[in-house]
Amino acid sequence: MKGAGRSGALFLLAPALVFIVLLFLYPFAYGLFLSLTKPDGTFTFGNYLRFFADARDLRTIWTTLSISVPVTFINVGLAIPFSYYMRRGVRGEKIITFFLIVPITLGTVLVSEGMLSYMGPNGWLNQLLMVLRIVKEPFRFTHNYLGVVISLGLQGFPYAFLMLLGYVSGISPDLEKASQMLGASKIQTFWKVLFPLMVPGIAIAFCLNFVMAFSVFPSAVLLGQPSGPTRVISIAAYQWAFEKFNFNAASSISMVMAAIELVVISIVLVWRSRTYKGASIVGKG
Amino acid sequence: MKDFKRISVRRMTKRFGDRTAVRDFSLEFGKGEFVTFLGPSGCGKSTALNCITGLIPITSGEIFIDDECIDDSRDKVPPEKREFGMVFQNYALFPHLTVRENVAFGLKLRRLGKAEVERRVGEALKLVHLEGYAGKFPAQMSGGEQQRVAIARCIVLEPRLLLLDEPLSNLDAKLRVELRYELKALHERLKVTTIYVTHDQTEALALSDRIVVLKLGSIQQVGSPSEIFSNPANLFVADFVGYKNAWTARIEAMKETAGILEVEIKVQGHVLNARLPYPEGDRRRAAVVEAFRSGCEVRTAIRPEDIKVGSFPGMNSLRCFASLVEYQGHSSQVSASFAPADGGGEATSCARMDLRSAIRVAEGDQVDTAISPDDILVFADPSSEAAGDDAQECST
């Protein structure tokens, strides 16, 4: 009976296993294989050596980090106070949430297209700024670093905000009251009680936002300068794969991408475990 | 700790929209006193407590510590500056901090030296018998232990006023009794001025110097445990402290002997005599006299344990039929109906009694009971209603 039950449980696991193997493990392993071989299938480190020797490709790491790290800090940094102020619910919360979710549902391309016309040199925003005499000539919001940052902010902030809102509104209001009764001001209560309890949520929101921003592609192409200042690492991989048709080189670049993301995620998780030592044993708030 | 003599709450009112949660709440208590707010859920006792802490702003009224006004509904000393301590029903320990850090939380905010903090945390943990627990996290402890940490976290600051909001309600029956003893011992030892909120009359009676009974935000009675228990101010208080037999009756005759009001009442045709301990000038007494004059209905209040089986001289006798028997070990809770005395009609009134288990009663048995005239209270206040909803219904 017991054995039958166990194999039955394994059987139930099968669909998930199939998914993981087919959609993640196999492509990943194949990519790793490609990155370590020449087009004829012989083993080589050449793809990686070429990437690190090519100054133009190597610079994409710095370019991508210089976009994704500030964007992630801005998104999570804004999400913390916003979620704090909305933790007990505010008037019009549903509408605010709706408008935050819209950019996610529309998708990157549509948002980028919208930004191009709205924030472009002849767009409404620049016309308004000129009428108000804030700027003399159209301010460049698009086709530069700023355009990519704004687009990633629109896309990433809602994720970070909604995730942290779930975290902070799950913290019992009695903890805040208790802290206050013990003599802590609102600010002290935030830093000594709420923030430490939000750390796990902040860490996850940071990781997700960073991965999304680091693998940016459409907005870097549409809103940035894909040949120069916003030539991010995914553009390099794309060019090797679909312009030079060298999948081996492209695979090695995506492996480098994955490695950098893993390094950043590890740093964040180490920070989390240092800051929130009660994490592993705390079940209830 | 700043020394003081009295804390006075004057005409404190709290409204949420058009709902009044606390109405005209006035109370004075002295240093070292243990005061309990007692009432059913929704009676405003927790709101009153939170208003006193300042966590909930009051709509009108004033709170004073001696001559210092800490709240006059416009200006208030914020909760963190009142030097009050609060213990919550759900403990509200900081889950990311160890027991030591939880207890040291308030001390560190006061910028005390490391050695001083360490010494006072140690003393506080010793007071609540948790010496070996300093390094544990709250989630690794039982509910009772967590609540003791919460108490230590407050008393370590030597608060001017300690407020406990149903601190034992989340614990199981055994722990509740244990921690109740400890609270009592702690109060005997430290003499911290305490307000305790509960819906449990046993806790209130066991712990308090004074009890404040609340109903729908209004104070019903303030008195010592024995006053509340044996001399309730109205039917609501009576019902809440266990006078479960609230029968509808009419006063047939009334006389006064040596200041004691003796009345003869009729319940379903059964004549019962009652000696009412209401002193001259008491509101209850005036209401009973008025009800006798106008012929209005009154309600009785009799404890289940004051109804005895058998027939005794000088006591009222009442014949009932047991309809439900709940065995509870040392005693049995019996619900029994009694028919109108003139014979006709259905049995409509229900007697609840608490009989020693040695007296064997089965459902359907005839039970001849006796009630002493001194054990019957009569209330005629039209505004007084029983707290229990089904005091009249006989379950069958």
- Please indicate whether, in this complex, the C-beta atoms of B79 and A172 are within 8 angstroms of each other: no
Amino acid letter, residue B375:
D
Distance from CA of A73 to the nearest CA of B (A): 24
Q: Is residue B259 over pLDDT 70?
A: yes
User: Percent of chain B having pLDDT more than 90?
Assistant: 65
Distance from CA of B91 to the nearest CA of A (A): 9
- Give pLDDT, residue A178: 95
Fold (CATH) for B6-239? Rossmann fold (3.40.50)
pLDDT band at A82 (very low <50, low <70, confident <90, very high): very high
- Give pLDDT, residue A190: 95
- Give pLDDT, residue A281: 41
Question: Can you tell me the distance from the alpha carbon of A180 to that of A173, in angstroms, rounded to the nearest whole number?
Answer: 11
- Give pLDDT, residue B382: 59
A42 token code pair:
């012989």
- Give pLDDT, residue A283: 42
Output phi, psi for B194, to 5 deg.
-135, 135
Q: Is residue A19 part of a domain?
A: no
**CATH architecture assigned to B240-379:** Beta Barrel (2.40)
pLDDT band at A102 (very low <50, low <70, confident <90, very high): confident
Q: Would you tell me how many other CB atoms lie within 10 Å of the CB of residue A172?
A: 16
Name the DSSP class of A43.
Answer: B
B284 token code pair:
């209850």
Q: Is residue B389 over pLDDT 50?
A: no
- Give pLDDT, residue B394: 41
Distance from CA of A263 to the nearest CA of B (A): 26
Question: Can you tell me the distance from the alpha carbon of A231 to that of A63, in angstroms, rounded to the nearest whole number?
Answer: 7
Q: Would you tell me how many other CB atoms lie within 10 Å of the CB of residue B290?
A: 13
Confirm if B86 and B165 have CB atoms less than 8 A apart.
yes
- Please indicate whether, in this complex, the C-beta atoms of A183 and B110 are within 8 angstroms of each other: yes
Q: Is residue A26 part of a domain?
A: no
In this prediction, residues A246-254 reach a mean pLDDT of: 94
| Residue A187 lies in domain | 54-278
Q: Is residue B351 over pLDDT 70?
A: yes
What is the number of structural domains in chain A?
1
Asked if the C-beta of A93 comes within 8 angstroms of chain B's C-beta atoms, the answer is no
Q: How far is CA A92 from CA A99, A168, A169, A245, in A?
A: 11, 19, 16, 51
Strand partners, B71: B63, B76
Q: How far is CA A258 from CA A226, A246, A251, in A?
A: 21, 19, 11
CATH number for position A268: 1.10.3720.10
A195, closest residue in chain B (CA to CA): B96
- Please indicate whether, in this complex, the C-beta atoms of A180 and B79 are within 8 angstroms of each other: yes
Q: Is residue B118 over pLDDT 90?
A: yes
- Give pLDDT, residue A285: 40
In this prediction, residues A54-70 reach a mean pLDDT of: 93
In this prediction, residues A260-276 reach a mean pLDDT of: 91
- Please indicate whether, in this complex, the C-beta atoms of B79 and A281 are within 8 angstroms of each other: no
Residues with Cβ within 8 Å of residue B163, at least 6 apart in sequence: B49, B52, B53, B84, B85, B86, B87, B194, B195, B196, B197
In this prediction, residues B31-58 reach a mean pLDDT of: 93
- Please indicate whether, in this complex, the C-beta atoms of B88 and A177 are within 8 angstroms of each other: yes
Q: Is A62 exposed, middle or buried (CB count within 10 Å of its CB: 0-12, 13-18, 19+)?
A: exposed
Chain B residues with a Cβ under 8 Å from any Cβ in chain A: 53, 55, 78-81, 83-86, 88, 90, 92-97, 105-106, 109-110, 137-140, 150, 153-154, 157
Q: Which of B55, B84, B94 to mutate to test the interface with A (most CBs of A within 10 A)?
A: B94
Q: If we measure between CA atoms, which residue out of B188, B14, B159 comes closest to residue B86?
A: B159
Q: Is residue A46 part of a domain?
A: no
Question: Can you tell me the distance from the alpha carbon of A200 to that of A20, in angstroms, rounded to the nearest whole number?
Answer: 26
Q: How far is CA B246 from CA B90, B236, B321, in A?
A: 35, 10, 18
- What stretches of B110-172 show up as alpha helix (H) in DSSP? 114-127, 143-155
B142 token code pair:
């039982």
What are the sequence ranges of the domains in chain B? 6-239, 240-379
pLDDT band at B390 (very low <50, low <70, confident <90, very high): very low
Q: Is residue B57 over pLDDT 60?
A: yes
What's the pLDDT tens digit per position in B161-207? 999 999 999 999 888 999 999 999 999 999 999 999 999 999 999 99
- Give pLDDT, residue A4: 55
In this prediction, residues A250-263 reach a mean pLDDT of: 95
Q: Which residues of A touch B94 (CB under 8 A)?
A: 175, 178-179, 193
Q: Is residue A14 part of a domain?
A: no
Handedness of CA B281, B283, B284, B288 (dihedral sign): positive
Q: Which residues of A touch B83 (CB under 8 A)?
A: 183
pLDDT band at A284 (very low <50, low <70, confident <90, very high): very low
User: Percent of chain B having pLDDT more than 70?
Assistant: 94
In this prediction, residues B269-277 reach a mean pLDDT of: 90
**Who wins on pLDDT, A279 or A264?**
A264
pTM of the model: 0.83
What's the pLDDT tens digit per position in A121-143? 888 999 999 989 888 888 888 88
- Give pLDDT, residue B341: 66
Question: Can you tell me the distance from the alpha carbon of B307 to that of B316, in angstroms, rounded to the nearest whole number?
Answer: 10
Of A175, A184, A281, the CB nearest to B109: A184
